[in-house]
Structure 1
């Protein structure tokens, strides 16, 4: 067996060509830019009012103005204001020629076609958004590798960007092995269990923006497992297999991978859950064979598969996906393995939940991540810092 750190080190060293695609701005939510973006225009593209108020030409001590017109947002005016004149103006409306300042309406007293205000309530250029104040034509506004958050999408939309070049998500083949696995929505036969791993992995992949997922149910027959792996390799960028990777009489996954010329990177990690984890690759594809127990599947996905996918999608520091937090209670480890515990954050502390068995999914309904207990740590005390991997 290799250590958790060594397994992650091996995966980080695997280099694959990145794939890019062009998407509409809205479709690109949550993706990463594969090229920088420069503004094609000045924003704002004209001087405009930051307030509802009155636009005029500022001069020292001025306290009254003659009202000569009105400029709503979305309209412009041919007026050229003279000294002592003003127009009623609304937020976002273009500043008329001859004006350079806006006094907000709350500071003004209006009498007929005259407006009055305290000179102390105005100064030159007040409440005027100048052309190019946000950015100017040619400015770098988004670097390569930037995450397309709603805020970034808003910025790009403000300069008229409609499409962006982003890192593509992988096509994923999800192979669920096991004669005992039965699909939800059917009457459960004696000796069978429902397929919990498939929906969980599909949901997690979908949350990451992965859309192209094909799920294949595979029976525990050697020829079928070999053929299913072969077909998956003909199509997918990433192959995820659950079950069949141990050493039982009906575990054929490792042999199937070997016969399909998948190069082994490592097999078995000194961890619980998820010890019989396999990682391998072809020249352009990654393969993870995960144990069948749900806790093992989800733990391995979080710690190895998810960081690898995120790296392919343009994330930086994807393997540093943890934070140090104090334990809410002490924990005794009885195994000389790295242990991942289903946990929940309460009041800033890591609370280890009951139901840590590999088959037991109950804690997953409450947990929001895994706590890592390092190999060789016989006891972690209350308040001791541990790595917490948030889902």
Structure 2
């Protein structure tokens, strides 16, 4: 039986097998949540012209107390056709082009209009006051977004301002979720003796979708060697990642490892020095990644977050590393000899508190969790106040 791998070594071996997926052009409106495959450079200045930051009057800078003749108006999308000269002003709206001859904008609240076609300026105006210069946000040719970054709402706005209508994004990884077990029935179905609802299929699919994947199949397989072989062979034809839950241990009804071997999947490792998640399996067939996760719901979620999520991010060219922080425990936590334990914690009051009972079957321990705190292998308790590493969720 193979020796237990430490978590970091196992994660490194997963990432070593990743090949970044090919890019595709995606319309800007569909880019949210995708990962950039190429830098984005501004095709022109943004804003493309000098404009007003306020509703008011475009003027030449000068002292308070002036009375100026109003000679035109500049509205957003409709620039003034009259230049500003000494003694004149142009009414202007926020975002409208600054007319020739003007170098400042006096906000309307600091002016008085007597009704005779003039405006009195009641405050001094300095050069560039309330004026946005052309290129103040982006200069033509500068890099405004970099490859590998996730596309969020701000990135979409920046890309639009950079004149982009589409972005080169990594293709979404195609993922199949395969859950095994005679005891599993669909959510909402009545339970017979010894049966449980299949939470893993939906939970793992949700985690994959959140990580940017396209979940193309969710399959339930009964505990027979033939059914397991057939299901694995079918879904492996057109996926980048196959995630299985259950059936990876050594019981008489655990058929996953044999079925994977029959489909030409090469084992990289099996069994990690981790609680929960010891029987985690990983292998490859060509560029396809295959994960065999434990069937217990918490074990499946924790091992997905530790191994599958980084792989899905790396496949898209994103940084696979989760954010980690050091936090003090606010309670004593027992240690496990020979295996690191990842406990679900909330972060508040300057430290980490367990979410409740931590059994691998207690799915409610994931509810409200801010992160996974690593409790190093050992004997006895890790006492309150000890600083631990927390991988944020």
Shorter-chain TM-score bucket reads: over 0.9
Residue 281 (1) aligns with residue 302 (2) = no
Shift of 1:68: 2.0
Deviations 1:284-331 (A, max 9, x none): 110000111111101101111111111112222x23442221111111
* Contact persistence 2:73–2:79 (CA under 8 A): no
- Residue 19 of structure 1 is matched in structure 2 by 22
Deviations 1:325-369 (A, max 9, x none): 111111121433111112222223211132211112222233333
Shift of 1:62: 7.5
Mean alpha-carbon deviation: is it higher for 178-187 or for 75-84? 75-84
- Residue 120 of structure 2 is matched in structure 1 by 116
Mean alpha-carbon deviation: is it higher for 187-196 or for 124-133? 124-133
Deviations 1:60-84 (A, max 9, x none): 7883312222222221221122211
Residue 210 (1) aligns with residue 221 (2) = no
Shift of 1:156: 1.2
Note the residue ranges of structure 1 that are not aligned, 5 or more in a row.
none
Q: Kindly tell me: are residues 364 and 86 of structure 1, through their superposed partners in 2, closer, same or farther at Cα, counting changes over 3 Å?
A: same
Q: Among residues 251, 263, 266, which one is paired with 1:263 in the alignment?
A: 266
- Correspondences of 1:160-309 after superposition (within 5 Å): 160-309=163-312
Rounded Cα–Cα distance in structure 2 between residues aligned with 1:60 and 1:352: 65
Q: Among residues 135, 139, 142, which one is paired with 1:139 in the alignment?
A: 142
Rounded Cα–Cα distance in structure 2 between residues aligned with 1:36 and 1:17: 16
- Correspondences of 1:355-366 after superposition (within 5 Å): 355-366=357-368
Q: Among residues 331, 344, 347, which one is paired with 1:345 in the alignment?
A: 347
Rounded Cα–Cα distance in structure 2 between residues aligned with 1:97 and 1:33: 40
Rounded Cα–Cα distance in structure 2 between residues aligned with 1:105 and 1:59: 16
| TM-score, with length taken from structure 2 | 0.94
SS at match of 1:212: strand
Residue 71 (1) aligns with residue 91 (2) = no
* Contact persistence 1:355–1:363 (CA under 8 A): yes
Shift of 1:118: 4.7
- Residue 386 of structure 1 is matched in structure 2 by 388
Shift of 1:267: 0.4
* Contact persistence 2:213–2:312 (CA under 8 A): no
- Residue 332 of structure 1 is matched in structure 2 by 334
* Contact persistence 1:220–1:252 (CA under 8 A): yes
Deviations 1:233-267 (A, max 9, x none): 11111000111000000101111111222111110
Rounded Cα–Cα distance in structure 2 between residues aligned with 1:184 and 1:320: 31
* Contact persistence 2:41–2:162 (CA under 8 A): no
| TM-score, with length taken from structure 1 | 0.94
Q: Which runs of 4+ in 1 moved over 4 A?
A: 59-62
Note the residue ranges of structure 2 that are not aligned, 5 or more in a row.
none
SS at match of 1:289: strand
Rounded Cα–Cα distance in structure 1 between residues aligned with 2:61 and 2:376: 68
* Contact persistence 1:202–1:213 (CA under 8 A): no
SS at match of 1:250: coil
Residue 47 (1) aligns with residue 73 (2) = no
Q: Kindly tell me: are residues 204 and 261 of structure 1, through their superposed partners in 2, closer, same or farther at Cα, counting changes over 3 Å?
A: same
* Contact persistence 2:177–2:215 (CA under 8 A): no
Please tell me the root mean square deviation across aligned C-alpha atoms, in Å: 1.8
- Residue 31 of structure 1 is matched in structure 2 by 34
SS at match of 2:9: helix
